[in-house]
Structure 1
C-alpha cells in the first residue's frame, strides 16, 4: 500500500563513525595501512559506542622508523593480520565519517561517504586553544575522557582506537559548542561538511614575522601581502582573505550613514 509522502524533509543520519588509521609512514603512493580503529558517536544523543579495531598486513611495505616510534606497532604484532581489503570491510558500513586530519585518513581508507575533519572544526570551535593537534586539544580544551576510559585500557596515544575514541569526544564537544549556532543536527552536519572541505581557517599564522600571533592582531598590510605572495599555502591565503573580508564588513557597519 503506497504511503503519502511527507511534506517535510526526513531527518538525516546523526551517527558519525569516527575513524583513525596508523600507517607505515610513507607518502600516499608508497604507504600501507597497518591499523584501523573506529568508534561511533550519535550527535543527537551524545552516545559513544561500537568500538572497532584491527591490525592490517602491510603487504611487504617496510615501516618507517619514525612512524614506528610514534605508534609502537612491531612487525611481530602484524604477523597473521588480515590484508587491508579484508580488514577495512567492517568499517565501510557507515555513510558519515570523521577524522582528526580527514584528508589523511580518507586518502588511505578510500571509504565512500561524507567526511568531517575535526581539526578544521576545532579551529572554528576553539580558536583560542594554543595548538590544535589531537592531544593538545585533549589537554587544553580540555576534553573529559572519564566516560570512555574503559575503551582506552591497554592503548596509548597514536594507536588507532585510542585516537578514534579521543576524536569522538572531541567531535561531541565541537558539536555542543557549535550546534547552538545551527538550526538542528542536519544543519550542523551540512555546515561542518562544508568547513571540512575548505582550507583550514587558522587561529594563528605558522610562519613569518607574525608567527603565533592571533589573527585579529595581524595588520591588514601583512594579510594583503599574503594574498599577493606566489606559492603561499592555501590555509594562509584562505585565512587572510577571510579576516580581510570580515574587517571590511565591520568597517562598513561602523561608517555613519550619509544624507540622502
Structure 2
C-alpha cells in the first residue's frame, strides 16, 4: 500500500442495549473510506457479521434492529469477531469512524482498536452542516444526498452493515470539506451545538442568545458537557468580536 494511501474504517454496532457492562453486541458492520493525494473515495472493503451477545436480546431492541435470538445463535462472540474488524491484518487504519462514536467506543475499547483515533461523524456534521434540521444519520442521508450512495445498499436502516455504508458516504463528503486532522480534532472536543436543546428557547440558534443567557448556562449546574462547551465557545467568539451580542434580551 503506498505511503500516502489512508484508510478509515467506519463501523456500526447493533446491541442488546446501551450499557457495555451488561449489554452485548449482536452485529458489527464496516465500510472503508480510502484516500490518497487528497482525494477520498468509498473503498471496496465492507461487510457485516452477527455476534453472539451471550445474553437474550430484549424485545425493545429487537424492535429497533429486528435481530432475533435465533439469528445470532451459533455466531462467534464479540472478542472473537472484533480484533479482525477493528485491526484488519495487513490493512493499517489511519482512524476508525462512527456516527455518535461514543456509543461504539463503549465496546470498541483501546485494547481492541490498537488505540487508533476516532472520527465522530455526528460531531463533525454539527460543525460542517449546522443548518441541517436533524443531524441523525438517516436524516443526513436524505438531507445531504451524498454522491454515489446506492439506496438499496443502505437498507434496511438500523442494521450494522447498511448504517456503516451510509455513514461512510457522509464521511467522504466531510473529508471533501475539511482535512482529516480537523475531523479528528472536532471529535476530541464536546459537540458544538447549533441550536438550544432545552427549555423555552429550544430550537433557537446559540448565536442569537444573549450574553446573560450564556452566563446563566455556565453558572447553573446540571447542563451536560456539550451545552457548556457551546456556551463557552459563544462567549469566546464574542470576546474576539466585541459588539456581537444579539439586540434582544432572551433571559
TM range (shorter): 0.7 to 0.9
Q: Does 1:191 align with 2:182?
A: yes
Q: Does 1:46 align with 2:40?
A: yes
User: In structure 1, which of residues 114, 128, 131 is the aligned counterpart of residue 134 of structure 2?
Assistant: 131
Length-normalised TM-score, structure 1: 0.83
Length-normalised TM-score, structure 2: 0.85
Match of 2:232 in 1: 241
Larger radius of gyration: 1
Q: Does 1:58 align with 2:53?
A: yes
Match of 2:170 in 1: 170
Q: How many residues align?
A: 231
Structure 1: segments with no counterpart, 5+ residues:
1-9, 179-187, 254-260
Query: What's the offset of the Cα at 1:28?
Result: 2.1
Query: What's the offset of the Cα at 1:52?
Result: 2.0
Match of 1:257 in 2: none
Structure-1 separation of matches of 2:5 and 2:96:
11
Deviations 1:162-185 (A, max 9, x none): 11010000101111122xxxxxxx
Match of 1:15 in 2: 7
Query: What's the offset of the Cα at 1:12?
Result: 6.0
Q: Could you tell me whether the CA contact under 8 Å between 1:119 and 1:132 is conserved in 2? A: yes
Deviations 1:12-51 (A, max 9, x none): 6521001100000142211101100001001443221211
Match of 2:146 in 1: 143
Aligned pairs for 1:211-222 within 5 A:
211-222=202-213
Structure-1 separation of matches of 2:163 and 2:8:
15
Structure-1 separation of matches of 2:170 and 2:128:
10
Q: Could you tell me whether the CA contact under 8 Å between 1:17 and 1:96 is conserved in 2? A: yes
Q: Does 1:27 align with 2:19?
A: yes
Structure-2 separation of matches of 1:11 and 1:231:
47
Match of 1:183 in 2: none
Match of 2:101 in 1: 102
Match of 2:220 in 1: 229
Large movers: runs of 4+ above 4 Å: 10-13
State the secondary structure of the residue aligned to 1:30. Answer: coil
Which is richer in helix? 1
Structure-2 separation of matches of 1:221 and 1:159:
44
Deviations 1:204-258 (A, max 9, x none): 11101211111121112111111111122110000000011111211179xxxxx
